[in-house]
Structure formats: C-alpha cells, structure tokens
Chain A
Amino acid sequence: MKTQTTQATVAEADLVLTLTVAGQPCGVPVLVVRDVLGPQTITRIPLAPPEVAGGLNLRGRIVTAVDLRRRLGLPARPKEAQPMSIVVEMGGELYSLLADAVGEVVPLTAADAVGNPPTLDPAWREVSRGVHRRDNQLLIMLDIERVLTIGGVR
C-alpha cells in the first residue's frame, strides 16, 4: 500500500526528510511529517508492546512514540543518546517515530530509486519501500504504514 507520495508516477524530485537509525540512513516523504521534535519526556505505558516507547504530550495532543530501533530489532541506543521525534499522522492518530538523528530535507529523484536489494536484512525489508543511492550509501525509504503495524495490530 502506498502512502502520500507515489514514487513511480512522479518524475520530478520528491522532498524527503532524512534520518538515521543505528547508523542506517532512512528517509520519509516530507508530506507525511507533521512535526520534528527534539528529546521529549516520554511516559512509559505498561503492558504495551516493546516497540511502543510510550506516550508524549504535543501541544495538548497525546502522541504514541514508536522506537524505530526496537521496531527493527536493532540494539538499543546508548543511555546518554536522546532520540529525535518525527511525528506522523495515521488513521487520525499521531505517532512519533524515534530515530537517532534527523538530517536535512533533500530532493530525491525517482531515477535514483531502486527496489529492495536481495541482500537487504529481512527486518528492514519489511518496512522498506525501496532504496536510494546517496553519498555512496543506501538510503532506505520507510513505509510508514508498515512501520506502524506492530504485532499485527495497527
């Protein structure tokens, strides 16, 4: 399923917000991003799935934080490192994707896009819509809907 932007049909560059998760550069289309926040106070939610880091207060609205490292089965970030929040909206609810760092907004053309390479880790493959070559690195385009499909529950 596609989210806001359909890569295939748009010839010009799409604006993408870059972020880093455990050293892996990723990107999300800028159009789905509602907010980018620095480190936040996140309230732990008991009995929640491990990927759900908790809840945070964004100007009076409750945002559910999803830790991307845990979502992708990656090792936890070091204690001192505070995650950045990328707030997206899905199904009328606000979610915050916790990443290690947020980069710039860059235009990425469809021309640079390739499908998932066969060597891609299965955990990444599940949430990836494709990859871009950029600065001699692979940038994984995240599929927000699949990222937020946790334990079969969305």
Chain B
Amino acid sequence: MDDLIADFLTETHEGLAALDVALLRLEKSPNDKQTLSEIFRLVHTIKGTCGFLGLSRLEAVAHAGENILGRYRDGVLFVTPEGVTLVLRALDRIKLIINGIESQGAEPAGDDAPLIADLNAMAEGHAAPSAAPAAVTPPPEAAPVAASQISEPVAVVPSLSPAPAPAVFGADTPHDQPGSHAAPQSIRVSVDVLEDLMMLVSELVLTRNQLLQLSRARSDGAYTVPLQRLSHITSDLQDGVMKTRMQPIGNAWNKLPRLVRDLANELGKKIELEMRGADTELDRQVLELIKDPLTHMVRNSADHGLESTEERRRAGKSDTGRVMLNAYHEGGHILIEIADDGKGLNTARIREKAVTQSLASEAEIAGMPDSEIHRFIFRAGFSTAAAVTAVSGRGVGMDVVKTNVERIGGTIDVSSTLGRGTSFTIKIPLTLAIVSALIVEVAGERFAVPQIGVLELVRVGGGSDAKVEHIKNAPVLRLRDRLLPLVSLARVLGLAEEEEAEVAAEALEQRFIVVTQVGASVFGIIVDRLYDTEEIVVKPVPPILRHIGMFSGNTILGDGSVIMILDPNGIARATAVAAEGNGARNAEAAAAQGLRSAERTALLLFRAGEATPKAVPLGLVARLDDIPLDTIEYSGGQPVVQYRGQLMPLISMSGAPPGDDAGRGRQTVLVFSERERSLGLMVDAILDVVEERLDVQAGQGRPGFLGSAVISGKVTDVIDTGWWLRQAGGDWFQPGSAPRAARRVLVVEDSNFFRELVVPSLSAAGYEVVGVEQPSQALKLREQGVTFDAIISDIEMPGMDGFAFAREVRAEGIWRDLPMVALTGRVDAAAVAQGRAAGFTDYVGKYDRDALLTSLAEVLDAALAA
C-alpha cells in the first residue's frame, strides 16, 4: 500500500479515537469551546486529506459531518444527544470505510446517501422531533441568529464558510487553540524494532549477571570498577527500554466511555463511568492481554450488576448507576479495580447453581463463607443470568477472564454485597519479560519461583517454632492460626520418593516453606534450601516440555546454569491442594462448622474429668501444650499462665483445679487462640486424633456440650467450644469494636411462652426485635415494606408452618435474601435437610439461647462480610 495512504490511515485511526472521547465530553458539556474546536478541527483534517487523496466516499461523509460540527462550533445549532449520536454514526461509517481501505486497498462500495441526508437534515435543524435539549442553554448572542436561520428552510446545502455567522466565538481558528492537545514530542517507532531492542537488552542483562558473578569469584581489582559502571549502565538501559514498552492503561480504557454510553442506551439504564488512574503505566504486552477481559467486565457490570432505573429508585439509590475503574501501582504489580454500585451478587442463587451443577455438595456449600461462594462465578459455564442477553450472560465470560489473567501471572478476586454492589480486583505483574525470582533448591536441583506469588518464607525445624505436622498423612503447617496445606516440591517433581524425601528431610536440620498464593488459595511449598532473589529473563518452555505444566519457562542464571521456572498454578493444579474450597480450607471450615457438615472432620479426642471421652474439632485447636504446674498462677481465683507474653486463662472442664493424676507435674492443655487472645482448656489426657463424620445427637442442653456422637465406636461428648470460650470472659465472637446500628430481627413464634422468652433475651443481646404470632402477620409486614436483617422462625405452627413460611419468603419479595434461622424442637438430620431445602440458613434447637445468639451473630456477620 502506498506510504501516503498508510500514514493517512494511522493518523485517521488516532483522530477517530480522539474524536470518540471528545464527542462524549461534548455531550456532557455542550458549550465547551475548546472541545468543539478540537472536534471540528479533527473532522476538518480528515475531510481535507481525503479530498487530497481522492477518497471521495470518505470525503462526502466527512463533509456532511463537518457540516453539523461547524454549526455547533458557531453556536448556530445546539448540541443535542441525538446530534451527537448522529455524528457518532458518521464516525462509525468513516471507520468502516477506513477498514475497507486497509483490507482491500481501496474504498469499499456502499451507499452513504441516507446517512448524509440525515446529517444534512440535522444541520438544517429539521432533525429529531424531540430535540428539546434539557441541559443545553444556548448562548444568548446565538439565540436570535439561530431563530432566523431555522425559520428559513434552505434547500441547498449551505456553504461551509463560518464567515456569515456573527462572531459568536472569538478568533477560534483551530491553530490558536492550545491546551486541548499539547503536542508531545514524540516519534513513531515500529513495534518490531522495540521488540528486538528488548531482546538484546535481556541478553545484555544476563551477560552482565554472568560477569558480575565471575568478578565476585575472582576479586580481580582491575575489572571491578569498569564492571560496576557497566552494571549501572545496563540497569539504566534496561529501565529505559522497559519504559518504551510501558503504556498508560488509559489506552485500554479509551473505548470504554463509548461502550458504556451505547450500553446505557441499549439497556435503557443511566450509567456513569468513572475512570481513575488512567495514566498508570504497564507493559504493552500485558496491556494487550487484559484489554478484552476489562471490556468484558465492564459490560457485565453494566448489564448484570446495575439495576434498572426504577429498581434503583425503589432501593433508594440514585437513578444513575456507576461503574468505577481504578488503577494503581503496588509493589511490582498494577492493581485494577472494576466496581459497580448495583445489586451485588446473588449469593443464594450462586449456591443453588453450584449445587445443581455439582460443583460442590450441599454440605460443603453450607460451610463456605459468602466470599468463597462468590468465587464460583469464575468457573466455566457458570452464569446465573436468568436470560442470556446479547450483551453478556452467555456464561463463557468470567472463567476466560480468570484464565487470561492467571496466564500472565496475575490474580483476580471478587467482593460483593447484596444490594450495594460488586467489586473485582485484578492484580498483574508490571512486566513479563524480566521478573524477580526466588531461587530455591530441592533434591540438589535449583529452580526459580517468580517473586509475585510468594507471600512469605518460613523456616521449619532447626530450632524454629514452626513445625510441619501431619493430618492424615497430608503435611500441613500451622501458620498464625491458619492451617496451610503443604506440597513437597521434591515429590511433585518426581525427584524423590515420599519416604526418601522424608528421610532426606529429617537429615537436614531445617527446611523452608515458600508460602504461595494462587488466586485466593494459599499453600506452602517445601524446599530444602533458599538462595537469593534474582532478576531473570524468562524464556519460554520448549514445545516438547509444555505438557508438563509445572514450569512457566526456563532461564539462565548468572553462573551460566540453566534452571526451570516453576509455575505455582501448575503445582497447585497437580496436587489439587489449592483448588477452590478444597484442601485444608475445607478442613478448617469443616472443623468450625463440623456439626452441620456431613463430611469427615478431624477430631481431637480427650478425657476430662469423667470416663466418657470428649471431642473437639481439631481445626479449632491452636496448640496442645503441657504446662508445668508450677507456672500456673492465680488471678482473681482463676488459674492463669503466662503464655507467649500474655496471660492465658485456664478453664477446667470438670471444675477440678489444675493437677494431674499421672504425677508428671504438668497439666495438659488445649489452647484455643484468636488473634491475641488465648484460652487454655485443661484436660486429663489426649486420647487420639481421628477423622470421622460428625453426627451429633442434641443433648439435654448440658452447658458446654453440643451433644453426643459415636466416634471411633464409642459414645463421645462433643464440646460446645463457643460456650467454653465465653467462660473465659470477653467477647469471642464479635469481630471488634466496630459500632453497629442495632440489627433488626423478626421472630415468628406461635407459643406466647416461647415468644416471651426469645424476644427479651434477643433484645438484651442488643438486637431490635419484632415478634409476631403467625407467619401471615409476618408476611403482612413484608407487604408493608418493613425490613429486617434476619428472621427467626418456629417450625411447628398451626396454619402455615415454618417450612411453608420459609418457602414463601424465599420465593419473592424484599426478604428473599435475608438469613433465616429455624428455632425448633427437632434437630435431627432429616429435619435439618428439610429446613434447608425450604430455605432456612441455619437451625437451632429449642431453646438454646446461646446457640441462637451465636447462630444469629454468625449469619448476620456472614451477610455483612459478603
């Protein structure tokens, strides 16, 4: 293609992009002189060059567009949304023709007559009947002129010269307008040239590293100084070339305002797009890869996240929905947030969908916090959109976004509040070519781990506190109250057999755990040695090895050795250790919710005070300790011990004072911890740790016990951890001193006696309670639009029973997504299942005041945190 035409095309593309942005700006502030001039000038340039190059079709369309714009500029015509839409149509037509020229080398055939006629009609002022510009106030001087112009219908296209109109604006020939475009000093460079430059610099960095290594080994004075200088220059060169690859993220965003505007029109909603941090820079390569995901997410927010105008009004929100983009740097990453103030994710629907799609069992779902439920939207084929619209909802989107983001070493997460909105956060590395990596060694071989995913490094053994423990043969690490699943790198890479690895590991005094994060899941990789962090040039894995999946590339270290770069994603996948909701997260969640889950839970069995063994979910126990009796002191009559710099109260299960019958001079203690608080539960002896399904039969309400279960073939008492923790005083379940408005709770209970019992005790706990006798009364309240934060309901009631009531609530209406707790005499598994099926969030036995309060606090907290 002709050089002239090629240049023209590039320039016109840029011009069209600028026009898009400028026109939308104009729509918001129709009297902005600078914008008007800029727009006119851009179209005028295009028209002029077309004419010069003999592109007649383009020239005709541009000419007609320039017509209207000239009128706007002169104040002869008012800027209206219809006018802007029409001009945008003209621009789209120009784009079409330009694309045609690009692919075919000549203007494609086509009929622009209708468009041009519309443009001309608009220019005459004949266009759209509803041209009542609500927000546009015409400049006073132009009013009489406009009136006179419009009153005389002119059949012929008037001349373009702006001269006849009285000088409304001052000397505004385009050239005199600075500021709307500050001409930056720049030149165009071919992308290939930059890529080659980048490659060369990478090699230079590697060679520099090698030289430094050699020089360190030899300490040859003559070379040191020039080498230092070379090293600095290379670093600067590297920085400089990296800069050429950096582009502001605004470049990926510049099509979005137009997209949102069109979407708003299409969907009949009012949407405002806010973009912050558009000048945040990132690598060109990375930018290309996230452009589409970002667009997809903005569409999603507009289509699914934001409600229609009436829905928003009913919910008490402003008419205009907002989509907010925010980009900023943090560490070696760029963070991009896409948020909307719409209706938020429908957690209940996601739960249902997850179960119907067999992504998790009912029990697992029940045990998951809302934040984890929300992550299901990243699964393939998962879309809870009731109708697949043309805009989105095909269910192919979010999983592709996640894959694309993870492919470049990034992460994506979602946070949503029902009724308030949803926010996605994408975190991606600034650049892909040269990354910081931690060098580790395992089984005598070295590997590189990209610094990005590494959260922290933990030393185990060799005198440090941390220890690798085993839960049913799976190695785990207790890290600050969290159970971290571990992966033995040696085993995963097939470098050593399990036993060999263990033996070798024992032989080593210490090992290291690299705590890694993949998506939202955290796990640890066991390695033998740590070296330092190096900047490495990432080279792609050769095709023969791509199927392995554990490596994201390979590189050459400063000493010339070739090492593989590990891909934590691949490791996680291979061991299924960090899959959503699997692994130790499940163990934790299951432990905490052990009673409601039908899954196997790790249980700690112990003896305390009586012959019947006791059980507690292992996940709740922070440590097992043997405390020397002589370190136990008394404060206010209560035994305490100095534990890790704090005073830890000791509670006896049997009421007996600290002591032990074995005469060891020590007291065995189960330590429960939460943040800085600890509580020691004194027991007689630890019996065992087992993993079993926990099926609790509700007890007679003996305080401190939830009931009994058959564990390891013996009847075992299951302790109510919450009760014991409360014995130590203090609020174990409140998340902190955040002041909260009193939560409103509805109690539906037909028995006066129980209602009189429940309502006051809930009020005493700080809730605002409304009690009704029958579900029908409750539903009347719903009709009246009364809102609550939670509903507590009896099951056995005459007329409409609790199940029917729950189904009714869940079917429709403003209470649809509220947490519902069933208060009832039946807590057997069948009743619980039935209750859940009807829509109850939780089940509490009648009348366990503490369990009710705990349950209420939990479901409300879950709803708040989501």
Using a CB–CB cutoff of 8 Å, the interface residues on chain A facing chain B are 41, 43-49, 52, 54-57, 60, 62, 64, 91, 93, 95, 148, 150, 153-154
Q: Which of B179-215 contact A (CB under 8 A)?
A: 203, 206-207
Q: Tell whether, in the assembled complex, residue A46 and residue B550 are in contact, meaning their CB atoms are under 8 Å apart.
A: yes
Q: Tell whether, in the assembled complex, residue A55 and residue B494 are in contact, meaning their CB atoms are under 8 Å apart.
A: no
A49 to B494, CA, bound (A): 12
Q: Tell whether, in the assembled complex, residue B494 and residue A46 are in contact, meaning their CB atoms are under 8 Å apart.
A: yes
Question: How far is the CB of A10 from the nearest CB of chain B, in Å?
Answer: 30
Contacts of A54 in B (CB 8 A): 562
Question: How far is the CB of A124 from the nearest CB of chain B, in Å?
Answer: 21
Interface window among B536-544, B650-658, B665-673, B732-740: B536-544
Which secondary structure dominates where chain B touches chain A? Answer: mixed
Q: Tell whether, in the assembled complex, residue A46 and residue B493 are in contact, meaning their CB atoms are under 8 Å apart.
A: yes
Contacts of A44 in B (CB 8 A): 445
A44 to B562, CA, bound (A): 9
A55 to B494, CA, bound (A): 17
Q: Tell whether, in the assembled complex, residue B207 and residue A60 are in contact, meaning their CB atoms are under 8 Å apart.
A: yes
* 6 sample A-B contacts, Cβ–Cβ < 8 Å, listed by A number: A45-B545, A47-B494, A57-B562, A60-B207, A62-B554, A95-B542
Q: Tell whether, in the assembled complex, residue B543 and residue A57 are in contact, meaning their CB atoms are under 8 Å apart.
A: no
Contacts of A153 in B (CB 8 A): 543-544, 546-547
Given contacts A45-B564, A46-B445, A47-B493, contact A62 B556 (CB under 8 A): yes
**Is the C-beta of B495 less than 8 angstroms from some C-beta in chain A?**
yes
Contacts of B545 in A (CB 8 A): 45, 48, 52, 64
8 closest Cβ pairs, A-B complex: A46-B493, A55-B562, A43-B562, A64-B542, A47-B548, A57-B562, A93-B542, A57-B556
Contacts of B548 in A (CB 8 A): 47-48
A154 to B206, CA, bound (A): 28
Q: Tell whether, in the assembled complex, residue B550 and residue A47 are in contact, meaning their CB atoms are under 8 Å apart.
A: yes
Q: Tell whether, in the assembled complex, residue B544 and residue A52 are in contact, meaning their CB atoms are under 8 Å apart.
A: yes
Contacts of A52 in B (CB 8 A): 544-545
A153 to B544, CA, bound (A): 6
A52 to B717, CA, bound (A): 58
- Number of chain B interface residues as a range: 20 to 34
**Is the C-beta of B560 less than 8 angstroms from some C-beta in chain A?**
yes
Question: How far is the CB of A50 from the nearest CB of chain B, in Å?
Answer: 12
Question: How far is the CB of A42 from the nearest CB of chain B, in Å?
Answer: 8
Contacts of A41 in B (CB 8 A): 561
Contacts of A46 in B (CB 8 A): 445, 493-495, 550, 564
Question: How far is the CB of A88 from the nearest CB of chain B, in Å?
Answer: 13
Contacts of B539 in A (CB 8 A): 62
A55 to B541, CA, bound (A): 11
**Is the C-beta of B563 less than 8 angstroms from some C-beta in chain A?**
yes
Given contacts A55-B554, A55-B562, A62-B562, contact A154 B493 (CB under 8 A): no
Q: Tell whether, in the assembled complex, residue A57 and residue B561 are in contact, meaning their CB atoms are under 8 Å apart.
A: yes
A91 to B543, CA, bound (A): 9
A56 to B207, CA, bound (A): 16
A115 to B561, CA, bound (A): 42
A54 to B544, CA, bound (A): 11
A41 to B544, CA, bound (A): 20
Instruction: For B489, give the chain A residue with the smallest CB separation.
Output: A46
A66 to B407, CA, bound (A): 28
Contacts of B542 in A (CB 8 A): 62, 64, 93, 95
Q: Given contacts A57-B562, A60-B207, could you give 6 more A-B pairs where the C-beta distance is less than 8 Å?
A: A44-B445, A46-B550, A57-B556, A60-B556, A153-B547, A154-B543
Contacts of B554 in A (CB 8 A): 55, 62
Instruction: For A47, give the chain B residue with the smallest CB separation.
Output: B548
Contact with A along B550-562 (1 / 0, CB 8 A): 1000111000111
Instruction: For B493, give the chain A residue with the smallest CB separation.
Output: A46
Contacts of B546 in A (CB 8 A): 153
Instruction: For B561, give the chain A residue with the smallest CB separation.
Output: A43
Contacts of A56 in B (CB 8 A): 562
Question: How far is the CB of A149 from the nearest CB of chain B, in Å?
Answer: 9
Most A-side CB within 10 Å, residue of B494, B542, B547, B561: B542
A73 to B562, CA, bound (A): 26
Contact with A along B312-336 (1 / 0, CB 8 A): 0000000000000000000000000
Instruction: For A55, give the chain B residue with the smallest CB separation.
Output: B562
Instruction: For A92, give the chain B residue with the smallest CB separation.
Output: B543
Question: How far is the CB of A46 from the nearest CB of chain B, in Å?
Answer: 4
Given contacts A46-B493, A60-B556, contact A150 B562 (CB under 8 A): no
